[in-house]
Amino acid sequence: MDFNDIQNAWNNEKTENVVLPDNLEKIQSANTPLDKIRKNLKNEFIYQIISIIFIGFLPFIYHFETKMIVPFYLLFSIFVAVCVYYLVKLYLFYRRLSAITLKTKDSLYETYFDVRLNMELYKTFGFALTPFMILFLIGFLYTKFSKDSNFQFTDFTNPQLISVFCVVTFSILFIGLALEWWVHHFYGKYAKEIRKVIDELKEE
């Protein structure tokens, strides 16, 4: 390679990735909230897997009737498939975060938007599981009531059915609010810290 080739290569170098020492220090300061996001994601995987296993053993823990076991595991298999789909995506996100080296503004921007995108993915995951959790709750309550030999589904009065409907509705709303709080508490506030670094870099 002659001098002209070296000069051309130098001129073609992307200047937007060149940062001053002060800027580099600011960019790398975003590693602290990223470390917290990685830690929370790792804990999430452990809790999610334990929860899935626990739910799978519910028929044996609470001695479900034989007629309820097949419908339960049919629903459970769909539940597990949904969990696997989202957990794989979140695991790939975790791997990307683990491989990130924040040295340029571009890498900081990409990381921030990746975090925001996967926060929305996590919310979608939670909302996708909500119907399953409600069905599991209804099935569990039905199993408990049906242990009474005199129990008949028609024994429920209209006020009782309305009460059940209200409980289910408010349970869905509560899960939605709890999910928003959970995502903000474990991921959102750290995403804001990264955004703050980006805003500081824009002001310079």
Return the pLDDT at 147.
63
- Can you tell me the distance from the alpha carbon of 44 to that of 91, in angstroms, rounded to the nearest whole number? 10
In the chain, what percentage of residues exceed pLDDT 70? 79
Query: Where is pLDDT greater, at 194 or 156?
Result: 194
Using 50, 70 and 90 to split pLDDT, how confident is the model at 77? Answer: very high
**Quick one: pLDDT band at residue 199, thresholds 50, 70, 90?**
confident
Q: How confident is the model at residue 155 (pLDDT cuts 50, 70, 90)?
A: low
- What local confidence, expressed as pLDDT, does residue 26 receive? 74
Over the stretch 9-45, which tens digit does the pLDDT of each residue have? 445 544 444 444 557 777 777 788 899 999 999 999 9
- The average pLDDT across 87-104 equals 87
- Average pLDDT of span 97-109: 82
User: What pTM was computed for the model?
Assistant: 0.76
